[in-house]
């Protein structure tokens, strides 16, 4: 038998279209096995494993666990790290330590080579405080140091060539945060407090750039933390006072947003271009900004829109506002190293389910205002309406909350919304707890009460629209039937006049023959003619699995499915009295079934 059923009763909805909202973020920190939450650098080796440098050890992540590398267990020369770099040719992770030199760890044979300053050797590392590692155009390495300039390292001879004020007096400083080889025989040097220098590797000419407060096209700040060349050969510079696009021909620095209120006035720690042509910019205390480079070069800075990730209370928030490094792995996932909040992971492929979760911040547009979901429906514009237990109705469009209907806004009679139905006229019927029905008119956008027996004190549990467009309402006092146009009550059925097994009706459905199936709480299931004459009933006294009927569903094959408190029941041939029950023995992990659909 074709058995296609799926049951979910959470604020979780599956969508096939993409969202404009931020991606969800997963946190990985010391609780998940990371050695330290201060993550300063990330790389990926040739085997696909991720490596994370922290201020207390090196970490290798195999997808499920972290393996730690310290001085005492793997012999690296120092636990306080600044940078790591996976060699593209050899199975080696290059490790820059804060005060203990340069390490080369071979992850295939697990061997380690340490390079430190040796006073008697002129071609040794000039100092042990290594700040950054960058690839040279010829396949070797550039090494920056905090006190003694830049080193060129020949991987074959294992010798260091020194670029500092002793060998190049025109350099503005020997204190260096970062370096970059542009591939055109130019070495970019980001200094500590002395701006940026460019060394021509061809003719050894040097250009220095420092901040001039009177020149808006000078470098934004003199602390240059990062340098990046994107796929279009643009040079980006991250300083202590923001981001700039550098034009080598003119020597000008162009700010993405020249306003003094720009978010890029923060210190910039890292810049990375991702495969979708977006520039990720990590900041101090201001999270991550994402610029669409396709948009950037066609729009004025004042109209530039950016994605922004920062700290908060929802699943789209960073664990710490200071992000030291950004890395995109070979699967196009994004990894962020935060300074105190561990690793933040953003999956390239969105999850199968989109989750609407509660946030205590009322202004958060991507969250619900209440933790508990009781009912769901889509309106005519394909917006999702979520009925909550005390928060009224939250309306979401493309993942963003655009409206809340509540008692406080004079829209609803009660904030606990147990049932929602969009009828064939695109109007929405709203069922509340002990405060009756509210009706949303699609044309006027107004919500008005609908009275039951002249009152609005009923406990509304379900709605159903039959084949004649009549609206059936399950309540704690039986069933009401309404004309959908006039919204006038047509009939009222209860235990006395229709032999309902119980007045508390939780679910209603019409089968292909026009019969009405009624699911009750405490009285089991009953089947009626279209005129509400009882045909048969099912309850625990007659051998039925449960008197608690949570939901009824008629599938596309004409079968009627019953969700009960003790399992799932299928009436494969609704004309007969036979049915099939499914419980734990048939593979259900939980026999309390709340809802069904196909």
3-class DSSP assignment, residue 403 = strand
Torsion (CA) 584, 585, 588, 590 in degrees, nearest 10: 0
Name the least confident of 12-16, 240-244, 293-297, 335-339.
12-16
Chain segment 161-176, per-residue pLDDT in tens: 999 999 999 999 999 9
Spell out the domains of the chain, with CATH numbers in brackets.
1-18+351-467+483-492 (2.130.10.10), 494-598 (2.40.10)
pLDDT of residue 302: 46
Which residue matches tokens 């203990």?
A: 100
CA–CA distance, 526 with 508 (Å, rounded to integer): 10
List Cβ neighbours of 490 (8 Å cut-off, separation of 6 or more): 470, 481, 482, 483
* 10: confidence class by pLDDT, cuts 50, 70, 90: very low
- 84-112: per-residue pLDDT in tens? 999 999 999 999 999 999 999 999 999 99
pLDDT confidence of residue 398:
86
Q: What is the mean pLDDT of residues 262-266?
A: 69
Distance from chain centroid for Cα 457: 41
Residue 350 pLDDT exceeds 70? no
CA dihedral 42, 45, 51, 53 (to 10 degrees): -60
| Average pLDDT over the chain, rounded to an integer | 90
By CB atoms closer than 10 A (0-12, 13-18, 19+), residue 114 is: middle
Q: Tens digits of per-residue pLDDT, 295-323? A: 765 555 445 567 889 988 777 789 999 99
Q: Inform me whether the pLDDT recorded for 488 exceeds 80.
A: yes
Whether 209 and 217 have beta carbons less than 8 Å apart is answered as: no
- Between 303 and 422, whose confidence is greater? 422
CB 84 within 8 A of CB 51: yes
Interval 195-229: pLDDT, tens: 999 999 999 999 999 999 999 999 999 999 999 99
What are the Cα distances from residue 243, in Å, to 164, 223, 258, 308? 26, 11, 10, 15
Identify which of 218, 222, 213, 164 has the alpha carbon closest to the alpha carbon of residue 191. 222
What local confidence, expressed as pLDDT, does residue 371 receive? 86
pLDDT attached to residue 8: 34
pLDDT of residue 6: 34
Determine the Cα–Cα distance for residues 199 and 189; give it in Å rounded to an integer: 8
Residue 399 reports pLDDT greater than 70 = yes
| Lowest mean per-residue pLDDT among 73-87, 91-105, 482-496 | 482-496
| 3-state class (DSSP) for residue 102 | strand
Dist CA 368 CA 380 (whole Å): 21
Q: How far is CA 100 from the centre of its chain?
A: 38
The predicted model gives 339-368 an average pLDDT of 77
């Amino acid at each position: 038998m074709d058995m296609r059923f799926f049951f979910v009763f959470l604020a979780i909805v599956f969508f096939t279209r993409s969202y404009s909202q931020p991606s969800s973020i997963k946190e990985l920190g010391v609780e998940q096995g990371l050695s330290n939450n201060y993550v300063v650098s990330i790389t990926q080796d040739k085997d696909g494993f991720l490596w994370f440098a922290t201020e207390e050890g090196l970490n290798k992540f195999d997808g499920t666990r972290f393996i730690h590398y310290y001085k005492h267990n793997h012999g690296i020369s120092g636990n306080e790290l600044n940078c790591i770099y996976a060699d593209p040719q050899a199975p080696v992770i290059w490790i820059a330590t804060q005060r203990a030199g340069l390490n080369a760890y071979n992850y295939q044979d697990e061997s380690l080579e340490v390079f430190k300053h040796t006073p008697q050797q002129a071609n040794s590392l000039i100092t042990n405080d290594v700040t950054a590692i960058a690839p040279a155009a010829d396949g070797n390495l550039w090494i920056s140091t905090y006190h003694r300039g830049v080193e060129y390292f020949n991987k074959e001879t294992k010798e260091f060539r020194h670029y500092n004020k002793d060998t190049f007096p025109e350099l503005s400083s020997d204190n260096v945060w970062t370096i970059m080889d542009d591939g055109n025989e130019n070495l970019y040097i980001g200094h500590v407090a002395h701006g940026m220098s460019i060394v021509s590797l061809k003719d050894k000419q040097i250009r220095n750039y420092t901040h001039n407060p009177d020149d808006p096209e000078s470098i934004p700040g003199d602390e240059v933390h990062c340098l990046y060349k994107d796929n279009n050969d643009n040079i980006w510079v991250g300083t202590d006072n923001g981001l700039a696009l550098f034009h080598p021909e003119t020597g000008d620095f162009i700010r993405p947003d020249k306003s003094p209120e720009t978010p890029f006035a923060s210190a910039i720690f890292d810049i990375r271009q991702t495969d979708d042509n977006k520039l990720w910019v990590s900041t101090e205390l201001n999270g991550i900004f994402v610029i669409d480079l396709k948009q950037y070069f066609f729009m004025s800075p004042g109209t530039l829109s950016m994605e922004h990730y920062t700290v908060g209370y929802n699943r789209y928030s960073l664990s710490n506002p200071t992000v030291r490094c950004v890395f995109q792995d070979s699967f196009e996932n994004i990894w962020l190293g935060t300074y105190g909040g561990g690793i933040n992971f953003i999956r390239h492929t969105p999850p199968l389910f989109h989750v609407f979760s509660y946030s205590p911040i009322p202004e958060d547009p991507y969250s619900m205002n209440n933790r508990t979901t009781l009912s769901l429906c889509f309106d005519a514009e394909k917006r999702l309406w979520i009925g909550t237990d005390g928060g009224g109705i939250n309306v979401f469009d493309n993942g963003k909350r655009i409206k809340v209907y509540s008692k406080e806004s004079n829209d609803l009679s009660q904030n606990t919304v147990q049932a929602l139905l969009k009828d064939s006229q695109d109007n929405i019927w709203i069922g509340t707890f002990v405060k009756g029905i509210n009706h949303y008119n699609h044309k006027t956008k107004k919500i008005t009460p609908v009275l039951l027996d002249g009152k609005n004190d009923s406990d509304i549990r379900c709605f159903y629209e039959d084949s004649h467009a009549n609206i059936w309402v399950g309540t704690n006092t039986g069933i009401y039937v309404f004309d959908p146009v006039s919204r006038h009550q047509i009939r009222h059925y209860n235990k006395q006049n229709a032999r309902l097994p119980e007045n508390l009706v939780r679910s209603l459905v019409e089968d292909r023959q026009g019969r009405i199936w009624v699911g009750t709480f405490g009285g089991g299931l009953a089947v009626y003619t279209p005129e509400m004459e009882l045909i048969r009933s099912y309850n625990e006294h007659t051998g039925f699995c449960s008197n608690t009927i949570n939901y009824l569903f008629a599938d596309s094959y004409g079968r009627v499915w019953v969700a009960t408190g003790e399992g799932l029941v299928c009436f494969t041939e609704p004309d007969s009295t036979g049915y099939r029950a499914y419980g734990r023995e048939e593979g259900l992990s939980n026999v309390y079934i709340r809802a069904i659909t196909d």
